[in-house]
Each structure stands twice: as structure tokens, then as C-alpha cells.
Structure 1
């Protein structure tokens, strides 16, 4: 899910919309069903899901429709456009199931499109003058929308796999170095607890967060030892909350948590990946936020902050619902 906060794009046709969708998601969708919600003429929200196999559509549809209706309503969207990417055999069964259920709500279904082999087809328009049965060819590279998006600083990856790879764990010598540094950091933490107790641990964590922020604000990165020390402290909720309070939508915050998420010892990735998701979500980059939450929950399925952000993303809630979280001095989530 993404709540676009990018500059307005002059969308006046289906081809314009289809050119804009990858910039809304952050990547070019394939074998996907995309729902775009509109408030008036403004795109309020967009979501993407893998297309189910035709034999699994009925089982897939109930939960999917409920989540999309919640998303659209939470975004105050009054109209929706469905876009299926892939062959007719898989797109049509999904669209035929989704559209009547959306239409039965207070959401106006403006159009339903299929994109296959560089052509788009409308399921709702029957006018051969604008929607011929053999589809309408379009070239997103030749669209003014792509130019507007690029000038506005929007970027798009070739597919979802590329987005996943952008925050995947580092490998090779870099991974070995951090694993070794993490073992040393864990021993250092044990010594600190035995000598200074929990209060000393929290003070050390607060200093590690301050050092992190100063380093990345200066366009530098943490050393392996510094990163390992930070990541063995972040699982402490009080320390994680100091980092959470300092995290917002600035581009370097996303870059900072991306670097830490990639380099962290994988069993310790849930806190930094959750904070990456939070920073990305605050920027309106729901696709990156969703990928980051996947990493967090894969490392720790019970991590409460990841679960909280995951639920908010699935419901299409605006990032402002967590304005002021966590509240200083108040009990926090684990």
C-alpha cells in the first residue's frame, strides 16, 4: 500500500494512469492486481497484491476485498480503479470477482483495466472507439507522465524483486565481519549489564542512537563494531523508542535504516527493519514499508512494532495515525 505524497501528476487518460502506477508503487508490477483509490480527482491510495490462480480466487477474494474496502475508506477514497497485470486467464477471474464486490459498497468503480503485452483492455467500457477488443497499445516511456515523475524526483525499480533486493541482507565478507562484531557486542552488553545494570544499558543505548543520527546526518555510516553495538541494544524497547521518536520522513532517515537493516545480523533485524518501515511509511512509500515489515516479521513474527505497522499498512491508514508515537514517559510496546 502507498499513500502518494508526491507532486500531482497530470493524469487524463488510462495510459497516463498506467504510466503513473509504477511510480506510485515504486516498481513495475507484474502478475498483480492494483487498486487505485481516488478522492475526487486526486489519487489518495494505491495497493498491489499478487494475482491468485483462477482455482483459488474464491478463497482469496473474501479477505482481499475486506482489506481493500478498509483501505479505501480509511483513505477517504470515493472511487476506485482496478488494474490487473498479466494474461487474461489469471487477470479476468480476479477482476470479475473483485469488481462486483467493490461495486456493492459505497465505492464507485470508475474503471477496471487489464495490462497484457504492452496493451490495456477495459472490462467496463464497451465503446470500440476508445476501447477496442484487441486493446490499446501504450508506451510508458513516451508519456509525459514519466517525464513529470522523474523531474519530481520519483524513481521506479524494474520489479518487486528489485525492491526486496534493495534491503536484503549483505553477504560475503561484509556479513562475516558484522557477525563477528555482533558476537563481541553481545559480550560487551553482558558485561555492561553486570556492571551498570539496566539504567547503564539504557544510557548506552541512548548514546548509540545519538551517535547513529549524527553519523548519518553527516552522510557517513556506522562502522561494523558501532552497528553491531547499536543492533544488540535496539531490542530493548526503551532504547528502540528513543530511535523511534527520532525517526521521521527525511530521506536520510530512510537511507540510514536501509543501511542498518541490510547490515544487521539477521536475527536482530526486526527493530531496524520496523523503523525503516516507519520512516518509509511516513514518506508515503508504502511499497518499501511493506517489504521492510516482511523482513521484520520473518526475523521475529511476534515483534509488536512490526505487527502494529503491518496492520496499519493493510488497513490503508494514513501515517499521521502514529503522530507523536511513542509517547515519552508512557508504557511502550515490546
Structure 2
């Protein structure tokens, strides 16, 4: 699913497509090559990559883009390069060749530079002048329709990354205190001596769940009480967000500490989909969580964003997770799926714990056991 599905936008010209790309990605691209994939006449997917550095071989990233696009079962594509001609042309040519190599029809190949666009496939001076065609995305009906439908295109990717950055100032001071209280609360729940504080950000063992590495820091000695507390915290947080209420500092701190426990993290994962409230909840928890506690909420946000077709948001959330915990295996699993362009629809139902790179389909509810005759 793309961000334009709900808007039902009509793209009838290169200018319309250029106006639509920022809403497909979630931000205005620069120094980028973008491939917009179609099935029939419908846009189904968009993928972006940085332009190769000067002198770098453009073939490997071009092949990767082609592999991602063909995995969407696309039939055709348009390539759009953003930046100066000397960098865009080689990248677009490489992507065109890679797409053709996997059997996709290239409908058009465009370069966008300083408010003008050029087509590499059109040689008619009447419609494709040598000096390029000026365009104003702000004046496009596509942009107006996208904004009316509630779609957002941020100024650049840095603005997107800022949406998952940790909050600072008084919020951080308050969360530091709340997280200390949450650590003491967890210590009491685990039966540690009175006054013991568990530093939630300290390195702890990695658990292995059924089916392979489950991913993430967990505490030793998890029991039913911890899982029950986690289930209650997740349920309360989801209920509060559905009502449009903001979690308190203590609620965020308690939830973020409990999410370091594998059983709690997986319970939250199983109940996370691509709903707006899921994205809002895990964004809030991620931004307010203390350093060292970001991996779980960042991964949950990435999963929700990926299921919603917001791949760029998923990517920046995973960058946040892997910056703090480079070995966090749920983040590594999702990062691999995202980079390979595995369609979210391939996960039919709730997530199953699986080794990285393996996606297992499963039913939403377990089947009842067979009765013995």
C-alpha cells in the first residue's frame, strides 16, 4: 500500500507524477533516484536510493532497486532522478537497464533539477524542450488533493528522522526520573531486595525464543508476574491512545522498561498492525524513552509503519533502533525485509518469531485441537 491509496489521486502527466512522489515517500527527495512502480495503471510502490557518489559504480544500487521493484509484482515503472545532470544521468541509465533486465517496461525516465524536468525518453521539442519543462508542485492538483486527503510531504529526509528523535529539555529530565522509578518498580516485581534499582539501559542477555533468535535485551528471571504487568501496560497504553489521551511520564517509563522483557515485547508486537493509533503510540513511547530503551519501541514503530506502507518512516525508526542497539535482532529482521522490498501483505496475520529473512504466514487465531474419535 502506498500513501496515495486513500487519496485516489489522478496522475496524468510527468508533472503530476513529480508532484506525487513526495507524498509517496513522505518527504521531498533530493540527490536521489526514485522508481515508481505500477501494476496496470495503478501506482503500487515507490523506492528511493541516494545518487551514487561521483566515480562510484551505479550498477549495484540500480540492480538492488530493480530487485525490490520486481518483488512487488509490478508490470512497469517510471524512473525519476533528482539532482545535477552529471550525477543523475548515469544513475538513471543504470536503473533503466536494471529494470529492463528483470522484464519491466520503463514508461519514462525523468531528471528533476532546479524546478524543471527533462525526459530521457522524449525527443519531441514540442513537449520536451531542451531547456526542460518548468513545474510548480505546489500548484498541482495532485498536491492539493494529497493535502486535502491528509497526506504529508516533509521538506527532506532529515525532517522525517526528526519525527523519531528523542525529546530533550524538561521532558528528558522528567523521563529520567520516571524511568528510575520504573526500574525500582520492576526490581520489586522481580523480588529483588528493597531499594534495588535495575538500570534498564545496562547490557543484558539476548533471549532465544521458539523458532530462532527472537531479538533483544531481556532480563534474567522473567516470570508470569512480569508478563502480566506487561500485558496490562500494553493494553492500558493502547486504550489511552484510542481515546486520544497522552500517556503520563510514569506510564511511558514503565512500558519502556517492561518492553526490555522479551515476552512483553512480543506481546506488544503481536498486537501492532498498521493502524494510525499504533504509529502514534510507538512514536510517542520512542521519543520519550530513555537512552538504552529505544530498540523495542523503535522496532514496533517500524513494523507498524511498514504495515501501513510508510517505508520511509519505518527506515528512520530502524536507524534509531540499530544506532542504540546494533545487534537487536527484531530491528535487523525488519531492516532486512525493508531493504529487500518484501511486501507487507506477505505477512498475513500477526508476526511469528522467525530467523532473519524468513517470513512465515500464519492465521490470526490458533485452530482448536482436533477431537479424538
What is the TM-score normalised by the length of structure 1?
A: 0.92
Separation in structure 2 between the aligned mates of residue 191 and residue 294 of structure 1, nearest angstrom: 33
Report which stretch shifted further, 146-155 or 201-210. Answer: 146-155
**1:260 Cα deviation after fit:** 0.8
RCO higher in structure (CA 8 A, sep ≥6): 1
In structure 1, how many angstroms separate the alpha carbons of the residues matched to 2:66 and 2:113?
26
In the alignment, which residue of structure 1 is the partner of 2:38?
Answer: 38
How far apart, CA to CA, are the structure 1 residues paired with 2:95 and 2:25?
Answer: 20
User: Is the CA contact (8 Å cut-off) linking 1:72 and 1:78 kept in structure 2?
Assistant: no
Q: Where does 1:145-164 land on structure 2 (aligned, <5 Å)?
A: 145-164=142-161
Report the CA distance between 1:51 and its aligned residue: 1.3
Q: How many residues align?
A: 328
Q: Residue 359 of structure 2 corresponds to which residue in structure 1? A: none
The correspondence for 2:139, drawn from 130, 137, 142, is 142
Q: Is residue 2:114 matched to residue 1:126?
A: no
The residue number in structure 2 matching 1:209 is 234
Offset from partner CA, 1:108-158 (integer Å, 9 cap, x none): 111111100100011121121111111001111111111221222212111
Q: Which residue of 2 aligns with 1:48?
A: 48
How far off its partner does 1:333 sit? 6.9
- RMSD between aligned residues: 2.0
CA distance in structure 1 between the aligned counterparts of 2:3 and 2:110, rounded to whole angstroms: 21
Q: Normalized against structure 2, the TM-score is what?
A: 0.83
2:205 match: none
Provide the secondary structure at the position in 2 that maps to 1:37: strand
Structure 1 residues 108 and 241: alpha-carbon distance in aligned structure 2, compared to 1, 3 A threshold: same
- Larger of the two Rg values belongs to structure: 2
Structure 2 residue runs of 5 or longer lacking an equivalent are 193-220, 357-373
Alignment CA distance shift 1:86-1:218 (3 Å) = same
Name segments (4+ residues, structure 1) moved above 4 Å: 1-4, 331-334
- Which consecutive unaligned segments of at least 5 residues does structure 1 have? none
1:174 Cα deviation after fit: 0.7
When residues 197 and 31 of structure 1 are mapped into structure 2, their CA distance, relative to the original with a 3 A threshold, is closer
Distance 1:174 1:77 in 2: 45
